Amino acid sequence: MKFKSKFTAIFMVVQLLSFSQTDAKNQSKNAVKSPLKESNPLPQNQSQQDTTYLNEVILSDLKAPLGPNFRGATQVILESSDLLPFRTRGVAAALNQLAGIEVNGSRGPQGSILSIYARGGRSKQALIIIDGIRVADPASASLSYDLRLLDLSQIESIKIIKGANSSLYGTNAGVVVIDISTKKAVEKPIGFVINTHIGTHQTAENQNNSLNYTSVFTGLSGGIASWNYALRYNQLNTSGVSSFKTPGQKEDPFVQSGLHLSLGKNFSDRLSAKLIVETQKISADYDDAFMGIDAENTFQTTRNHLASQWTWRQSKGVLKASVSLASYDSNDISAYGSSVFANNINAELLYRYFVNEQWNIITGVQYINDQIEDNPYQNTPATDYTIMDPFASIGYKQGRFDIQFGGRFNHHSQYGGQWVYHINPSLFLDQSKQFRAHLSLSSAFITPTLGMFFGAYGANVDLLPETNQNTEFGLSFNAKKGTQLGLTYFERKEQQAIYFNGPAFLYENQMNDAWAKGLEFQLASLLGAQFNVQANYSWTQVSETAIRIPKHKANVNLQFSPSDIAHWSFSLAYTGKRVDTDFSTYEQKTLKAFSLIDLQYGFPLGLLNSRGFVSVNNIANVSFEETVGFQTLGRNIRLGIEIGL
């Protein structure tokens, strides 16, 4: 039976009834004043700046601590201006320049498989959230959302929360939570934007300067009365590069496209809702890495997604509910090909209540159901599992001290119950609140994927879940005049880590514990009104089983903005030595360190609300190896234009 058709039909009917009934009720009532403007849980002498930030936290992420200066875990926020230099390189490249995060494949050709290694962890321990909704492919080897599906032009900001955060965010939040917010509708009846890029897509060894990179993004959005809407479409096409280093060097094209529609309704100042419908597709040709030959292999995925979100604001609390239905239709056309149709249902009810100026409570429950349909051609049966997670967290703030602590009970249909926790205190060390120390103790629960249990290749029904324990201590300085410093030390232990035993062709649990420890340094400083410098360095030590994680990594980014539209960005990225596995022989290989320089310039065009872009990546045309046997990109030049109405 097709899970997709049943749940989609039921959900759409419920949504249509809910919209019509609630709208009708509210038409007969007077509008209610906004409780956040009318009665804010902050003290009366609190600054307007803090009040604004609190409102933003409530509306965007109810699980976040109160304000940027009160948080007991390492967080980084990439705003739209921070994402501009990566417009033609994607989400993976933007994440890769952060301390402690290595996104393998982000320096390769478009369409390269992307793996997230954060603080010595792997992709299955990285949770991705888009507009407040967990996204994960039940059939993938890492139970992760494929970042190749997402276009950076759709993104407004990315919040990165490091450490084990399963108690607040659920399963798979073992090393990092990547919370992505897409662009919101403009505050006028109709707004339109289009941007397009064209340029080269080539390796360091083959600088033929052919225009093999094209992308286009269009967006239509606005608000009328109590309604708002957004319609976005994007497409990316690349060619000219072989995915694997082979004698023939036959090109492997990549195509990515997406269509997004959201419709929002403010029934009153207290109650609002949003309906999201979208589809995303990728098609990536690739070679036979095990044999080291060109091959007519293609991987295709289509993701269809339907979601609804409801927010009810009270004088001292906010209630948020969301339901998400997603299907993944994946086809691997190769000698060892497969065809998988998977579904994911994710529902969450979350309530945050501000008891008084010092105390607040977060509580809720999350429901997850992952499904894979049967495939008689591969002799794989239909299967699913369910996770039901009640959770609670308490926050306390008094003077210079702040703490958040809580837990979650992960109830898995395959394993039963598993408790996870977090304790995140922080303390300002001075009266002016410029120096802060924070401590984080937390744990995580990571479930195997359905493909690992019952898939066509290497499945093992006896797999055990992974568990993580994380400890971190940090010091930060915020001069409140544009200079910020941060230093964090972390340690992480991992039990029953799941790995793929190549010779046995089987997923297995490791007998010994895996571990990682490291140090992260971050600097941000404003040099006047127009100059900005950002730098970071990370040292990561991992157990012998970990691969592709550099021990030393550093990034420096200089930005100059002479006007609101004109923008210069110069970046230098250093990646140290790391160990990788040659999967054709299963031997370990040490990869050399390398450094890359990028330049990006945005400038006004003087036509309507438009601007142009020029980017030069890998200026020195450095030839380097990111993954054993796979291609990387050399110097590439790309031009773009954006027009907004």
419-470, pLDDT tens digit by residue?
Answer: 999 999 999 999 888 899 999 999 998 888 887 877 777 888 888 888 889 9
User: Are 83 and 94 contacting, i.e. CB atoms less than 8 angstroms apart?
Assistant: yes
Looking at residue 144, its pLDDT comes to 77
For residue 335, give the DSSP letter.
Answer: T
What's the token pair of residue 282?
Answer: 């990728």
Residue bearing tokens 């601590």: 65
Measured from the Cβ of residue 66, the count of other Cβ atoms closer than 10 Å reads 20
CA-based R_g, the chain, Å:
24
Q: How far apart are CA 122 and CA 549, in angstroms?
A: 10
pLDDT at 645 over 70: yes
- Mean pLDDT, to the nearest integer, of 246-257? 91
Least confident range from 10-14, 294-298, 360-364, 496-500: namely: 10-14
Looking at residue 564, its pLDDT comes to 76
| Closest alpha carbon to 168 in 273, 61, 67 | 61
* CA–centroid distance for 25 within its chain: 38
| Max CA pair span of the chain | 73
Mean pLDDT of the chain: 85
User: Are 454 and 385 contacting, i.e. CB atoms less than 8 angstroms apart?
Assistant: no
How does residue 414 score in pLDDT terms, banded at 50, 70 and 90? Answer: confident
- Mean pLDDT, to the nearest integer, of 201-226? 96
Q: Which residues contact 510 (CB under 8 A, 6 or more apart)?
A: 496, 497, 498, 499, 545
Looking at residue 64, its pLDDT comes to 61
pLDDT at 501 over 90: no
Please report the domains of the chain, with CATH numbers, ordered by start residue: 3-644 (2.40.170.20)
Looking at residue 148, its pLDDT comes to 93
Looking at residue 229, its pLDDT comes to 97
34-80, pLDDT tens digit by residue?
Answer: 222 222 233 333 333 333 333 434 445 677 655 544 445 578 888 88
Looking at residue 107, its pLDDT comes to 96
Query: Higher model confidence: residue 553 or residue 645?
Result: 553
Looking at residue 56, its pLDDT comes to 39
- What type of residue sits at position 344? N
Q: Which residues contact 126 (CB under 8 A, 6 or more apart)?
A: 116, 118, 144, 172, 174, 175, 176, 177, 178
Looking at residue 55, its pLDDT comes to 42
- Mean pLDDT, to the nearest integer, of 496-509? 86
Looking at residue 528, its pLDDT comes to 78
Query: Higher model confidence: residue 607 or residue 360?
Result: 360
Distance (Å) of CA 616 to CA 198, 438, 569: 12, 39, 11
| Closest alpha carbon to 145 in 258, 303, 368 | 303
pLDDT at 21 over 90: no
Query: Higher model confidence: residue 577 or residue 464?
Result: 577
Judged by DSSP in three states, 91 sits in helix
